[in-house]
Structure 1
């Protein structure tokens, strides 16, 4: 489950992490009032959607007047923002974030994920902030520095200093970076997160570190013990088919192709999609019915696949032995 930027920054504030003063707004009038609360401009206005690439799509703008803030809000609220991380329909813009503009001297990257190979939370930092970390990893992997958290001790101060030195930080910035790393690690562990990304983490012209952006992803399997995060869920940002599939314990991800896929097992499902692509087709979805599939679940899976108007055919690839094939057939016939 992903959080909006403004929700991430609300969490940052609870843990004492520095971020620009800002307010989430749902109307143009609220946006203008937010600017008045913040003080003199310039301000930054940002569309709140669960996707990256907002700036290139026009969803982030620096403005110098309240009139420009109102115009931005009127232009985007109630519309859909299409970025390279969304599908062709984009995602709905129901809030915009109005923030005080920051004087940026340098942009850094700081993020954390669960590394399944080492079974630890791994923090990554880079001097190449403000760009996609995947691009940095592909073109200049030596610019990404990593540390792994010991599950017994958690984040240690020396690890923060080690990363800070590798980023070329000096003086009070080392101390600030270490404090920020500890705070982010604490959020990650206490809130059962799967992803943290601060891109960019900026050094201001005044010589301070600020979390200019924030992306948090929670572990869906742990939401039962995170009531605060459950309340932050924005279902308008989720594909309704994916939400429906989750209710039936189906792993479904919508794609842009026209060949529906129903498979049992995540590995076989990905392999099936690869075969479709290899032969010139385009998969319309990833769908793993799982090893405990029932007739009803298979029927529901077909309904979800066929609810996509782009689907022209459905490829069923079932590995017998994990699931009874006659059960799959019964589910298809029932549909």
Structure 2
């Protein structure tokens, strides 16, 4: 195992480009190699560059290829930001989630996970509205795609991933509700994982998880990954999918984060993304873990604060990270998409 510290990484670096609002581009964190296979993915000396900061809790990054910019959520602030190279970050959707006054029963009113569907729409896991919402990027017009299962309102939709034929998979923990599972707003007896069909039907994938959170699919769309932000079960689960996009058999544990959680590293299993080779880039205690298609930890992009999510962007070889109050990026050797 090789650990490259921030100081060592900085020692051989040329001056980084300036970022609006910062005197000089800040770097943080370090990259740890657990397995030699990491060397094909990222250089352990690559700097982790801060590109924006000052947020309450950054989440849900997505790169908009048709425009060349990053969108991300500040969930408690109810704002989605747009970042573009040379222009810095500025509010894009205000509010990003719940429209109108925010009642005391809602803890996180804003957008959470974001994605761009095949139609070019921004798909929002809207925590405050408790819905899956489509936003036209040009007009910013909102359309609620789903807000109920069997007539009962969702808890607080958290993250999204895209399956075959335009299906949307999403998770629905109670984080956005002030009182969580005991909230008077909670209508469902469970915290679910769902599949939203292109025609609008909502199908239940799993109702047995206490804290379903990040979600993603393998490149062939035959395996669904769900991260659990549960101290008792800090796992990423892998669900084999049938031709209809629904699970065939019980899920297996793809990766177990019990060991780093036991060392009290910052963060929990949260958001994840899958690259074109099937590697999973997953938030966990300590930062973003790079996992092989078989679930083996190849390395860790270690961050000093809890890191919620990540996304591939720019030319596909940049990984953007949302880490507490900051947005950072690191260059990869391999393309994410």
Shorter chain as denominator, the TM-score bin is under 0.3
- Tell me which protein shows more strand as a share of its residues: 2
Structure 1 length normalisation: TM-score? 0.27
> Computing the radius of gyration over CA atoms, which structure comes out larger, 1 or 2?
1
Structure 2 length normalisation: TM-score? 0.27
